[in-house]
Structure 1
Amino acid sequence: MNLGRNVTRAGVLIGALCMHAWAAAATAEYSVISANEKVGSLVATIEGASVDITFEVNNNGRGPKIREQLTLNEAGIPTQWRITGKSTFGAAIDEQFTWQRGSAQWRGQDGKGSSRMPQPKLYITNDGSPWSAGLYVRTLLKAKDHTLEVAPSGTLRLEELQKTHVGDVPVTAYAITGANLAPEMVLLAADGSLFAQLSSRQVLVRTGFESKVEQLQQLERSLRVKRLEEMQRRLAHRFDVPVRIRNVRVFDPHTETLSDPVSVVVFRNRIASVAAEPSDFTPPNNEAVIDGGGGTLIAGLHDMHAHNSNESGLFYLAAGVTGVRDLGNDNQLLLDLARRIEQGELPGPRIVRAGLIEGRSSYSARIGSIPETLPEALDIVRWYSDHGYRQMKIYNSFNPDWVAPVAKEAHRLGMRVSGHVPAFMSPDRAIRDGYDEINHINQLVLGWLTGPQDDTRTTLRLTRMANFAALDLDSEQVRTTIALMKERKIALDTTTVILERLMASRAGKVQKGDAPYLDHMPIGYQRYRKRSFVEFKSKDEDQAYLDSVAKLLDLMKVLYSEGIQMLPGTDDTTGFSVHRELELYQKAGIPAAKVLRMATYDCEKYLGFEQSLGSIEAGKFADFFLVPGDPTRNVSAVRQIQLVMKDGLLYFPSEIYQALGIKPFTTAPTVSGPAT
């Protein structure tokens, strides 16, 4: 009961703060909930103009642990903001914003800067806690048109979404846009205090209301779905007449070459023809016509390691990704999202579902399912099969002794088995016990770098990778595993891009993989990408991580030469990371045309869909994209996408990016003729 009074009192203080009134110290407490389990907490102590915050999360063996100290002026805007602690993967945080006498200075992982400003602007943190969300909403509510220029740069916008009740507490739901890739969903109580911050996989909620998380997640999904339904109506161009794309070359994955100039005709969701036009040909009046400008049409890319959200669909489509394999998600969210995409209600790629199964430990990932017994684990396999999942994914804390019976049951039901290699288990044993595929290149490598007592449920699965540069790829243990993979036809879902991002990230610097697009992005995302994800104890360790990233490319070349099927995946949802993954394949020494085949036809064949997807041929589904360059020479050409067609719906990335608050990279070709 005292806690409830303290929280209410803190909310009143925050509201009073904005009215230039002050009171004694009070504390606001929040829980972080994932999959109905508490995985963290936030405690904010407000005393006069000062706010002191501690924020800690431990989910999937990682999470931020920070302390924030703010000083607010009479308008409720910070003039001092200090953030210290550790980021999600353990990198040190020391971020600060200061405004005094018309001048502001800031520093963080992304660098430092300063600016003259007569009054302090609202500061967008790089490593702040969710408490800032309430601060942003309260400030934006007082701004003209609920829009505000912010520091270091950019503009925040606020939209009121819905008034409702959580229990007996009246709340208002808002969306903040302009800082990050997806709108931030925030609930404020009537007194102006933060009640909850909502995301698809994690909820921050006022202590005492943890039992309302399911209601909050349903609210979050309904609000996002409503917004995306409107965007789908506006951005998906539908045609009841044939669509003719003229003057294009088509990438043929079978020959790994480009065709001579042809026209590709689509009727509804199927490719009707792929053929050269006679010199005197004039398109019929009842067709929609697009001039491809001599560019290249490529079958839609596939991300073989995705974790979809409602918002990820538009990013994937804009990047030419028309198919993904989801390797672990909230089960109800994924089933609902896949259904809505299939029915054309929401934008997004085709989704192949893999069911994640985890073990119970203090390091458990709170997605998918966590059985307590082996019979329960087998029932979970059957549930996934009955709900149309095509694959099982085993995770870090899963009992190694359960792998063989779970794999046997999955295979009986026609499902493939993949996963992380569970802690205290080797990749070789996982393969012998029934794995068909290993997820993440580091999960393969860790088998050569760790011993029986090493706990890979922790961030050790990243930090131990610093030792990889010194490993001999011709050593007996490496050759033994590769030989076993060849013998059993084991595939590897690489996600090299995410390992590069984690291991080669350096505070204040833009990674090569992010450089082509980052300055087009919202300021919050730009700052987030200029960070270190791991802490380096010395210059030698710093260099070891960089050398190990290069060694990963050497390993990819070895695996390619040995005939191991590598599946391009990202463990990300931006679409841009798919492009970088393909660049890394080419950088590893794989020819660009071969990389394109691996990212299109080979993925569909692996999944069993090559008869209807993966190449641009008459009768197949109309899933493809147009680029102006020749990606068979340089796969980076896939970054300049002009149009995307998915299941017969036409999208222009320039329109998508504008709708998402991102500066477009290309212009859309003109469509002439009738359209509906």
Structure 2
Amino acid sequence: MNLLRSTLLALAFAPAAFAQTNPFVDPYIAVRAPVFALTHARVVDGLGHAPLENQTLVLRDGRIAALGADGTVAIPAGAAVQDLAGKTVLPGFVMVHEHLFYSSITKGPFHVNEMEFSFPRLYLAAGVTSARTTGSMEPYTDLQVKKDIDAGRALGPKLHLTAPYFDGEGTGITQLHAVASAAAAERMANYWADEGFTSLKMYQNLPLDIMAAAIKAAHARGLHVTGHIGRVGYREAAEAGIDNLEHGFMAMSDFNAGRKPGDASSPLANYQALEKLDPAGPEINALIRLLVDRHVALTSTLAIFETFTPGRRVASQAELDTLAPPLRESYLTRWAAIQTQNNPLFRAAFARNLQLEAQFFRAGGHLVVGTDPTGYGGCIAGYGNWRAIELLVEAGLTPVEAIQVATSNGAKLLKIDATVGSIEPGKAADLVVVNGDPTKAISDLRKTETVFKDGVGYDTRKILESVKGLVGIQ
């Protein structure tokens, strides 16, 4: 049996020179040519500008070589050409709260399983060409997945890896390691920087002194720091130098009733404070001003919080088909229970957070977006990314602004905007082709046909078909 297993693995992962094809990648490639032209396209550049109609893009050696109105751009002799009349081209999405794991069904403590096969595929199929994994449970699996994708052995986005969570005692998640001291935080930051991770994530029970030490150590190594925090308030974290805060204002503990510095927080207390918060009040506007002035980015993760909110959508049939049967049943049971409970507090907190995220954006805040495919299984990679952008529009952003948040804003946070995040000559040909106009109906994102990464076009439908029934398994 061991010999058989070894032989099968050797064949499965044989180098391209041996098989001449890569069965994990090649069947999903729709377009691959040294020079390729897209004509008659509607182009949304990702920088917040109005869409341009009837445009021609020339892609050469994985980059955007030219962009201009039809008839003004010379199409090189021998170039492959695709007519995109009636279709829209967007930059590849740069999503910054993603994971390579998914919640499993357990009767004990919260637990997740790594989705090293299905999730990278789902991200790419939805148009996510760059993604930050905001917190790792299996760090060496994440490293290997990134290595395989970068080498062309697997499908997926360009990954920017966040190290395992920096948390304190009392999280209740057995897969997390509590960081006991400032010295331990410094050691941990340096260790994961040496291993190749580019960011750290502070978690809910981490005390301020340990968080400050981790931030200092990370910045010394050129890593950026984000956080889903609670024991530390948003103002305290900003003053300690954090670069990014996760979950919009849903994780904010600053205004919790009776809160003292260092107190533990809870979702219930956070939601109660949000419900009572006056968006026009001086306290929240002073906090928003502080975040803007200190250039602290805020990550919107509306798609995950929607799953806990009564009266919201149930997953589409396409999403349900992606789940392994036991996970599908578990999700539907929990969703139905949330509707039955119909907790008005969850509705009110979700609605207030929508309002505050738009308020932060309008105040000049650096709003970015991600999926956070965790919870009880209602938000998954790929489909959740589309939903996250749709919900930004529900919050009050225009479709063009929501696309900007999901593209160039994410690229600026990760400091990769010189090469990705917008459609401009010289940048990587990371593009999303949509059979519709998401600037008029943002839900047209679900009509994505082809996703280009470094000039290679992948067939969205074929990739989605390849992972049906696998989410929750691998």
TM-score by length of 2: 0.82
Q: Following superposition of structure 1 onto structure 2, how do residues 268-287 of structure 1 map, counting pairs within 5 Å?
A: 268-278=61-71, 284=77, 286-287=78-79
Shift in alpha-carbon separation, 1:225–1:527, aligned structure 2, 3 A: farther
Shift in alpha-carbon separation, 1:365–1:434, aligned structure 2, 3 A: farther
CA-CA distance at 1:164 after TM superposition: 4.3
**Contact preservation (8 Å) 2:99, 2:133:** yes
- The one-letter amino acid paired with 1:288 is A
Q: Which residue of 1 aligns with 2:130?
A: 323
CA-CA distance at 1:377 after TM superposition: 1.6
- The one-letter amino acid paired with 2:91 is A
SS in 1 for 2:90: strand
CA-CA distance at 1:399 after TM superposition: 3.0
Matched, 1:471 2:277: yes
Which structure carries more strand by proportion?
A: 1
Matched, 1:339 2:147: yes
Q: Which residue of 2 aligns with 1:301?
A: 93
Alpha-carbon distance in structure 1 between the residues aligned to 2:279 and 2:422: 35
Q: Which residue of 2 aligns with 1:600?
A: 407
Shift in alpha-carbon separation, 1:564–1:236, aligned structure 2, 3 A: same
Alpha-carbon distance in structure 1 between the residues aligned to 2:281 and 2:454: 47
Q: Following superposition of structure 1 onto structure 2, how do residues 340-359 of structure 1 map, counting pairs within 5 Å?
A: 340-359=148-167
Partner of residue 262 from structure 1, selected from 41, 55, 63: 55
Partner of residue 661 from structure 1, selected from 445, 468, 474: 468
**Contact preservation (8 Å) 2:40, 2:53:** no
Alpha-carbon distance in structure 1 between the residues aligned to 2:129 and 2:453: 6
Alpha-carbon distance in structure 1 between the residues aligned to 2:346 and 2:11: 41
Q: Which residue of 1 aligns with 2:210?
A: 402
CA-CA distance at 1:521 after TM superposition: 4.5
Q: Which residue of 2 aligns with 1:496?
A: 302
Partner of residue 293 from structure 2, selected from 457, 481, 487: 487
Alpha-carbon distance in structure 2 between the residues aligned to 1:303 and 1:327: 10
Alpha-carbon distance in structure 2 between the residues aligned to 1:372 and 1:280: 60
Q: Which residue of 2 aligns with 1:206?
A: none
**Contact preservation (8 Å) 1:442, 1:465:** no
**Contact preservation (8 Å) 1:270, 1:621:** yes
Q: CA offsets, 1:628-670, max 9 Å, x none?
A: 22222232221110111112221111211222338xxxxxxxx
Shift in alpha-carbon separation, 1:359–1:630, aligned structure 2, 3 A: closer
Structure 2 unaligned residues grouped into runs of 5+: 15-21, 101-114, 374-379, 470-474
CA-CA distance at 1:483 after TM superposition: 2.8
CA-CA distance at 1:304 after TM superposition: 1.0
Q: With a CA cutoff of 8 Å and minimum separation of 6, indicate the structure with the bigger relative contact order.
A: 2
Q: Following superposition of structure 1 onto structure 2, how do residues 506-545 of structure 1 map, counting pairs within 5 Å?
A: 511-512=312-313, 514-515=315-316, 517-518=318-319, 521=322, 524=325, 526-532=328-334, 542-545=343-346
Q: Following superposition of structure 1 onto structure 2, how do residues 50-449 of structure 1 map, counting pairs within 5 Å?
A: 163-164=1-2, 230-237=23-30, 239-254=32-47, 256-278=49-71, 284=77, 286-308=78-100, 309-310=115-116, 311-329=118-136, 330-363=138-171, 365-366=173-174, 370-422=178-230, 424-449=231-256
Alpha-carbon distance in structure 2 between the residues aligned to 1:223 and 1:327: 33
Q: What number of residue pairs does the alignment pair up?
A: 436
CA-CA distance at 1:372 after TM superposition: 3.6
Alpha-carbon distance in structure 1 between the residues aligned to 2:212 and 2:168: 18
Q: Which residue of 1 aligns with 2:359?
A: 558
**Contact preservation (8 Å) 2:250, 2:353:** no
Partner of residue 586 from structure 1, selected from 380, 384, 393: 393
Shift in alpha-carbon separation, 1:502–1:610, aligned structure 2, 3 A: same
Q: Which residue of 2 aligns with 1:625?
A: 432
**Contact preservation (8 Å) 1:513, 1:580:** no
- The one-letter amino acid paired with 2:276 is A
Aligned-CA RMSD value = 3.4
388-397 vs 475-484, greater mean Cα deviation: 475-484
**Contact preservation (8 Å) 1:622, 1:645:** yes
Which structure carries more helix by proportion?
A: 2
SS in 2 for 1:642: strand
CA-CA distance at 1:233 after TM superposition: 2.9
Q: Which residue of 2 aligns with 1:546?
A: 347
**Contact preservation (8 Å) 2:399, 2:439:** yes
CA-CA distance at 1:281 after TM superposition: 8.5
SS in 2 for 1:252: coil
**Contact preservation (8 Å) 1:316, 1:349:** yes
**Contact preservation (8 Å) 2:247, 2:302:** yes
- The one-letter amino acid paired with 2:139 is N
Q: CA offsets, 1:146-180, max 9 Å, x none?
A: xxxxxxxxxxxxxxxxx449xxxxxx99xxxxxxx
Structure 1 unaligned residues grouped into runs of 5+: 1-162, 166-171, 174-217, 506-510, 663-676
SS in 1 for 2:448: coil
Structure number, greater radius of gyration: 1
CA-CA distance at 1:300 after TM superposition: 0.5
CA-CA distance at 1:349 after TM superposition: 0.4
Alpha-carbon distance in structure 2 between the residues aligned to 1:485 and 1:282: 46
- The one-letter amino acid paired with 1:361 is E
**Contact preservation (8 Å) 2:249, 2:357:** no
Alpha-carbon distance in structure 2 between the residues aligned to 1:528 and 1:357: 26
Alpha-carbon distance in structure 2 between the residues aligned to 1:293 and 1:520: 31
260-269 vs 233-242, greater mean Cα deviation: 233-242
Shift in alpha-carbon separation, 1:660–1:558, aligned structure 2, 3 A: same
Alpha-carbon distance in structure 2 between the residues aligned to 1:232 and 1:643: 14
Q: CA offsets, 1:304-323, max 9 Å, x none?
A: 10112422111111111111
630-639 vs 642-651, greater mean Cα deviation: 630-639
Shift in alpha-carbon separation, 1:258–1:360, aligned structure 2, 3 A: closer
CA-CA distance at 1:278 after TM superposition: 3.6
CA-CA distance at 1:594 after TM superposition: 1.1
Shift in alpha-carbon separation, 1:299–1:514, aligned structure 2, 3 A: same
Shift in alpha-carbon separation, 1:323–1:536, aligned structure 2, 3 A: closer
SS in 2 for 1:389: coil
Q: Which residue of 2 aligns with 1:455?
A: 264
CA-CA distance at 1:529 after TM superposition: 4.1
Shift in alpha-carbon separation, 1:557–1:223, aligned structure 2, 3 A: farther
Alpha-carbon distance in structure 1 between the residues aligned to 2:288 and 2:12: 44
Alpha-carbon distance in structure 1 between the residues aligned to 2:368 and 2:220: 24
SS in 2 for 1:472: coil
* Percent of paired sites with the same residue: 23
